[in-house]
Amino acid sequence: MDASKELINETNLLLDIASLLMVSGANTNRVNLSIKRFADSIGYNASFFISQKSLIMTLYKEDSAVSCTRVKNIPGLALNFTIISAISKASWKALANNWDYNQISEEITRIKQVKRYPQILVTIAVSLAGAGFCNIFKGDYLNMLVAFVSTFIGLLVVQWSHRRNYNVYLRIFIGSLIASSLAAIGVKLNIGEKPATALATSVLYLVPGVPLINSFTDFLDNNIINGLVRFTTGSMMVLAIALGLFISMLIFNLI
């Protein structure tokens, strides 16, 4: 293969890995470290700019004038911590064993093919977590049941709107409105000892923990731009949750 084409392929591969990490929910520093390990394993230095929407990367060698710069757009967020962990482990193996382009490419292809948990299992697990939070706030078993049903149906609606490519903030607003409205019915019917706990915990599945945590770690690592973007994104998501909850409480006259 021509050396220039080989360099382009290597740059595209590292861009693909960086994009996969960002989509899966990695913070900026983890992306930086993982890509630099892969670049070191194939004998290059990597210099790149990471934003929430795009990546710009240059591969080069200190003793050569040859370099390659490529740009890649980043798809929407699809959290998958298994992929982040697998890529991080692969980057250490690549660095330790001097993997070449083909070995890295094969490993990334394998990681991409790792199956996710079934959607129904995730929905049930998240709903159980919502019921668990209700119990933490002293809700009884009936309150927990209301929280479970509210979270379950709300999450189904969010997943449905995601498949139809609705705006992320609109998806969160609709999910919050549906879940809190179902819990508000429980309040109006006075189901359980503390029905308000089910209402308060019915929207917790929407809390944007990853963007907010990543914004904090980005600030600590001096990635100020990405930290601000992620903090703003997380704040907008919180606002969408609050708006859905507020409207449902207005509808059911709970304010």
Mean pLDDT rounded to a whole number for the chain: 91
Question: What's the whole-number mean pLDDT along residues 58-84?
Answer: 85
Please report, rounded to a whole number, the percentage of residues in the chain having pLDDT higher than 90. 67
Does residue 62 share a domain with residue 138?
Answer: no
Does residue 132 share a domain with residue 194?
Answer: yes
Looking at residue 177, its pLDDT comes to 96
Looking at residue 65, its pLDDT comes to 77
Sheet holding 54-60, edge to edge: 45-50, 54-60, 67-73
The structure tokens listed for 224 are 């100020």
Does residue 133 share a domain with residue 104?
Answer: no
Looking at residue 198, its pLDDT comes to 93
**Radius of gyration from C-alpha coordinates of the chain:** 22
Query: Best-predicted range by mean pLDDT among 60-64, 153-157, 208-212?
Result: 153-157
Looking at residue 86, its pLDDT comes to 94
CA distance 228 to 215: 7
Tell which of 65, 82, 112 closes a domain.
112
Confidence of residue 134 (pLDDT cuts 50, 70, 90): very high
Please say whether the beta carbons of 74 and 22 come within 8 A: yes
Does residue 218 share a domain with residue 186?
Answer: yes
Tell which of 112, 127, 152 closes a domain.
112
Does residue 188 share a domain with residue 101?
Answer: no
Q: Three-state SS across 114-178?
A: CCCCCHHHHHHHHHHHHHHHHHHCCCCHHHHHHHHHHHHHHHHHHHHHHHCCCCHHHHHHHHHHH
Does residue 214 share a domain with residue 168?
Answer: yes
Does residue 125 share a domain with residue 94?
Answer: no
SS3 196: helix
Q: Is the pLDDT reported for residue 123 higher than 90?
A: yes
Closest CA to 50 of 227, 230, 226, 228: 226
Does residue 200 share a domain with residue 165?
Answer: yes
Model confidence pLDDT, tens digit, residues 148-206: 999 999 999 999 998 898 899 999 999 999 999 999 999 999 998 999 999 999 999 99
Q: Which has more confidence, 4 or 34?
A: 34
Model confidence pLDDT, tens digit, residues 16-27: 999 999 999 999
Question: What's the whole-number mean pLDDT along residues 231-247?
Answer: 95
Instruction: List all residues 6 or more positions away from 186 whose beta carbon is below 8 Å from its beta carbon.
Output: 143, 146, 150, 192, 195, 198, 199
Tell which of 88, 112, 136 closes a domain.
112
Looking at residue 64, its pLDDT comes to 75
Confidence of residue 5 (pLDDT cuts 50, 70, 90): confident
Looking at residue 49, its pLDDT comes to 87
Q: Is the pLDDT reported for residue 8 higher than 80?
A: yes
* Residue type present at position 164: R
Give the ranges where the chain is alpha helix by DSSP (H). 3-24, 28-41, 81-97, 101-112, 119-136, 141-163, 168-188, 195-201, 209-220, 224-251
Structural domain of residue 25, as residue ranges? 3-112
Does residue 135 share a domain with residue 239?
Answer: yes
Look up the pTM and report it. 0.87
SS3 45: strand
* Residue type present at position 174: I
Looking at residue 2, its pLDDT comes to 65
Number of domains in the chain: 2
CA distance 147 to 126: 11
Does residue 124 share a domain with residue 100?
Answer: no
Please say whether the beta carbons of 52 and 229 come within 8 A: yes
